[in-house]
Structures are given as C-alpha cells and as structure tokens.
Amino acid sequence: MWSTAMTAASAAGTAGVTGGAFRRRLRDPRPAIGMWVATGNPYNAEICAGGGLDWLLIDGEHAPNDVRSFLAQLQAVAPYPVAPVVRPPTDDPVIIKQLLDIGAENLLLPMVESAEQAAAIVAATRYPPAGIRGVGSAFARVSRWTRVEGYLHRADDEICVMVQIESAAGLAECAAIAAVDGVDGVFFGPADLAASLGHLGRPDHPDVVEAITSAVAVVNAAGKAAGVNAFAEPLARRYLSLGVRFILVGADVTLLARGSEELAARYRDVAEKSHSTPPPISGSATL
C-alpha cells in the first residue's frame, strides 16, 4: 500500500515539472490552499509537502534562497502531490530563465506595478518568437535533459505565471495587469500593501481589506485567478468567500516560531518553581 501510494505521488510530482498542473488548477473553482516555505531547507520543504496542502510557495524574496537551494527543494517535494510555486527575488529575466530550467514551472513575481512589467515577465517565460527565454533545454532538469519529448513546443502552454500586486501603484493598474495575456493569476500581498497605504504592520486594517476585496473582484471579472496571503483564519475565509482561487494560510517559519514559543510557555511554570525552590544540597556538610 505504501509502495502504491508513493508510486502515484511520484508520478504526480514528475508530471508537475512539465505538465501545467497548477496552471489548470487555477482555472478550477475549487480554491488551492497553500503555505510558505521560507526556511530555505529541503528537509523542511519535504515535511510540508506531505501535509496535504495543494501548493507550497518556496520564497526567494525574503527567504535565504538561491538557484541551488530552489533546486534542492523542488527535488525534495517532487514525489508528493503538491504544487511548488517559486517566488524569485526580482523579475530579472536571467533569474527567471534559470528557475524555469531547473523545473520551477510555477512562478510568482513580486512587486508588479504595471501591465508593461507584467508583459515583460510573461515574455521572459516564453521561447522565441513569443518571448525572450533562452533555449538551453539540453542542459535543463525541466526537460529531463531532452528526455521529455516535445518540451520546447509545449513549455509555453505549461508554465504558470502569477504576478504580485503589493502597492498602491499596483492597485491602480490592477485591471490592466490582469488583462495581460499570459498572466494566469494575480496575487495580493497585504503586508506591503498595508505599508503602501499608510498602515504599516496592519494587513488586517479595514482600508487594506477593502482595497483587496475590490481588487479581487477586478481580477475575477478579467477571468483570471485571484490570490492572497492571509494567516488569520477569519480573514482567509472572508477572502475565500469572495472567490479567491489560491491562498497562503501559513508558513513553516511561523509555525516553528509560534510552536516553539507555545512549547516553552507550557513548561515555564515548572522552570520558575524549580528556580524559586532550589533542591537541597546532597552530601556531607563537613567536606
């Protein structure tokens, strides 16, 4: 039974490298529930991959990742039926090219503020003549080193491009960004958005929530998938009720931080009691 389950999971993971599975999932009305992987560690990524979530965001903007650590994490989660999404630190087409070649089929690009920027991102993920992606599939994990038949001709249809709006300037261009051909999803980052709107540290501020609510409607009307980050469960459920189709509801680093704090707090009274009443000294007083 274990062997059968692992074989099925492995097949799903392998297909996910070149199959466009997450791109298709974004067209599904069922929301995809995910979490951040921000430790930069493939062991942690694999633990999270087996948790039953739909997708993982392997972060490179605020987490200590580079191309090699992205590769290790993609390899670690490949046997599991979960979609890995990679967020590079910038929209540099060179970095995008490297990530695509190592098998990062699903990309989330941060800090997008115009339709022109979104179109340039899409072009960086497409082979000529549709875009500017360099052709190096013979050296690439994504094509299994040319073992995936027809990869060059299928790739453009399988790559999932999501762009992140997280500023007032981006919000103002939301409709134009969502209308860009090749943009599959528009994701809203409440933390940076709150700062841009004058509410630093308050992603749950009513102004921020209202701005995201309105923007989600714009994205949905454009026929694209809207996504958002929302760790507070009531807020996450509110966004889901608005038709958000992909959402991040937690992170490996926050689970570890809050879990370790809770564990320490559970036993703090024991430590304090032991400190206030030291144990008697054993042995003879005449030593």
Residues 223-240: tens digit of each pLDDT: 999 999 999 999 999 999
| Percentage of the chain modeled with pLDDT above 90 | 86
Sketch the domain layout of the chain as residue ranges: 21-267
pLDDT score for 52: 97
**Could you tell me which residues are beta bridge partners of residue 85?**
57, 106
Catalytic residue status for 62: yes
Query: Model confidence over 60-113: pLDDT tens digits?
Result: 999 999 999 999 999 999 999 999 999 999 999 999 999 999 999 999 999 999
- What does the longest C-alpha to C-alpha distance in the chain come to? 92
Question: Is the pLDDT assigned to residue 277 strictly greater than 80?
Answer: no
pLDDT score for 169: 98
104-108, 240-244, 273-277: segment of lowest average pLDDT? 273-277
Question: Is the pLDDT assigned to residue 285 strictly greater than 60?
Answer: no
Query: Model confidence over 131-153: pLDDT tens digits?
Result: 999 999 999 999 999 999 999 99
**What is the rounded distance in angstroms from the CA atom of residue 143 to the CA atom of residue 133?**
14
Confidence of residue 19 (pLDDT cuts 50, 70, 90): confident
Residues 6+ apart with CB under 8 A from 216: 188, 226, 228, 239, 242, 243, 244
pTM over 0.85: yes
**Could you tell me which residues are beta bridge partners of residue 187?**
164, 227
| Residue pointed to by tokens 């051909």 | 181
pLDDT score for 278: 60
CB atoms within 10 A of CB 279: 6
Question: Is the pLDDT assigned to residue 9 strictly greater than 50?
Answer: no
Q: What is the mean pLDDT of residues 41-62?
A: 97
Tell me what the pLDDT averaged over the chain comes to.
91
pLDDT score for 51: 97
Question: Is the pLDDT assigned to residue 6 strictly greater than 70?
Answer: no
pLDDT score for 269: 83
Helix-helix angle 67-77:42-49, to 10 degrees: 30
Top CATH class, 21-267:
alpha beta
Task: Write down the catalytic residue from 62, 153, 199, 205.
Answer: 62
| Percentage of the chain modeled with pLDDT above 70 | 89
**Could you tell me which residues are beta bridge partners of residue 56?**
35, 84
- In terms of C-beta density within 10 A (0-12 exposed, 13-18 middle, 19 or more buried), how is residue 210 classed? exposed
Cα-Cα-Cα-Cα torsion 33, 38, 43, 47, nearest 10 degrees, comes to -20
Of 103, 79, 81, nearest to 10 (Cα)?
79
Question: Is the pLDDT assigned to residue 273 strictly greater than 80?
Answer: no
Which tokens go with 167? 């500023």
Confidence of residue 38 (pLDDT cuts 50, 70, 90): very high
| Residue pointed to by tokens 């992205």 | 70
Question: Is the pLDDT assigned to residue 187 strictly greater than 70?
Answer: yes
